[in-house]
Chain A
Amino acid sequence: MEDSEQTQNSSTEKPDGGSVQNGHFDGRVKRPAPGGSGRAASAAASAAAVGAQIPCAESGAHRPVMESWREERTRSMEDNETSLPSLAAAYTTILRGLGEDPQRQGLLKTPWRAATAMQFFTKGYQEKIIDVLNDAIFDEDHDEMVIVKDIDMFSMCEHHLVPIFGRVHIGYLPNKRVLGLSKLARIVEIYSRRLQVQERLTKQIAVAITEALKPTGVGVVIEATHMCMVMRGVQKMNSKTVTSTMLGVFREDPKTRDEFLALIKC
Chain B
Amino acid sequence: MEYQNASEMNGGVDRNLNASKHNSLCREKKDSKDTVDAKKLSHIEKAYTTILSELGENVDREGLLRTPLRAAKAMQFLTKGYKETTQDVLNDAIFDENHEEIVIVKDIELFSLCEHHLVPFFGKAHIAYLPNKKVVGLSKLARIVEIFSRRLQVQERLTKQIASAISEALEPAGVAVVIEAVHMCMVMRGVQKMNASTVTSVMLGRFHDDPTTRKEFLNLTMRK
Q: Considering only CB atoms, which chain B residue lies closest to A156 in the complex?
A: B188
Chain B contacts for A158, CB-based, 8 A: 63-64, 67
Total count of chain A residues near the partner, CB < 8 A: 52
Closest approach, in angstroms, between the C-beta of B49 and any C-beta of chain A?
9
Verify A159–B75 contact, CB threshold 8 A: no
Known: A19-B61, A163-B184. A100 touches B111 (CB 8 A): no
Verify A93–B56 contact, CB threshold 8 A: no
- Kindly state the separation between the CA atoms of A4 and B185 in the bound complex, as whole angstroms: 22
Verify B119–A161 contact, CB threshold 8 A: no
Verify B51–A87 contact, CB threshold 8 A: yes
Chain B contacts for A22, CB-based, 8 A: 57, 61, 63
A83 within 8 A of B: yes
- Kindly state the separation between the CA atoms of A162 and B48 in the bound complex, as whole angstroms: 12
Of A35-43, A120-128, A214-222, which binds chain B?
A120-128
- Kindly state the separation between the CA atoms of A159 and B57 in the bound complex, as whole angstroms: 13
Verify A86–B50 contact, CB threshold 8 A: yes
Chain B contacts for A159, CB-based, 8 A: 63, 66-67, 70
Of B24-32, B36-44, B89-97, B213-221, which binds chain A?
B36-44
Q: Considering only CB atoms, which chain A residue lies closest to B66 in the complex?
A: A159
- Kindly state the separation between the CA atoms of A55 and B18 in the bound complex, as whole angstroms: 65
Closest approach, in angstroms, between the C-beta of B200 and any C-beta of chain A?
16
Known: A87-B51, A98-B82, A106-B154. A75 touches B61 (CB 8 A): no
- Kindly state the separation between the CA atoms of A89 and B47 in the bound complex, as whole angstroms: 8
Known: A160-B74, A161-B48. A197 touches B63 (CB 8 A): yes
B169 within 8 A of A: no
Verify B55–A110 contact, CB threshold 8 A: no
- Kindly state the separation between the CA atoms of A107 and B157 in the bound complex, as whole angstroms: 14
A33 within 8 A of B: no
B15 within 8 A of A: no
Of residues 127 through 186 on chain B, the ones whose CB sits less than 8 Å from some CB of chain A are: 152, 154, 184-185
Known: A94-B48, A97-B44, A161-B48. A74 touches B57 (CB 8 A): yes
Chain A contacts for B64, CB-based, 8 A: 158, 195
Total count of chain B residues near the partner, CB < 8 A: 49
Verify B115–A90 contact, CB threshold 8 A: no
A57 within 8 A of B: no
Verify A232–B63 contact, CB threshold 8 A: no
B101 within 8 A of A: no
- Kindly state the separation between the CA atoms of A75 and B58 in the bound complex, as whole angstroms: 12
Verify B115–A75 contact, CB threshold 8 A: no
User: Most chain-B Cβ atoms within 10 A of its Cβ — which of A89, A98, A237?
Assistant: A98
Binding site for A on B (CB under 8 A): 40-41, 43-44, 46-48, 50-52, 54-58, 60-61, 63-64, 66-67, 70-72, 74-79, 82-83, 109, 111, 115-120, 122, 152, 154, 184-185, 187-189, 194
Binding site for B on A (CB under 8 A): 19-22, 74-75, 79, 83, 86-87, 89-91, 93-100, 106-107, 109-110, 113-114, 117-122, 125-126, 152, 154, 158-163, 165, 195, 197, 227-228, 230-232, 237
What are 28 of the A-B contact pairs (CB < 8 Å)? A21-B61, A22-B57, A74-B57, A89-B50, A90-B51, A91-B118, A93-B46, A95-B152, A97-B72, A98-B75, A99-B40, A106-B115, A110-B115, A113-B116, A114-B117, A120-B189, A126-B56, A154-B187, A158-B63, A158-B64, A158-B67, A161-B67, A165-B184, A195-B64, A195-B67, A227-B120, A232-B77, A232-B78
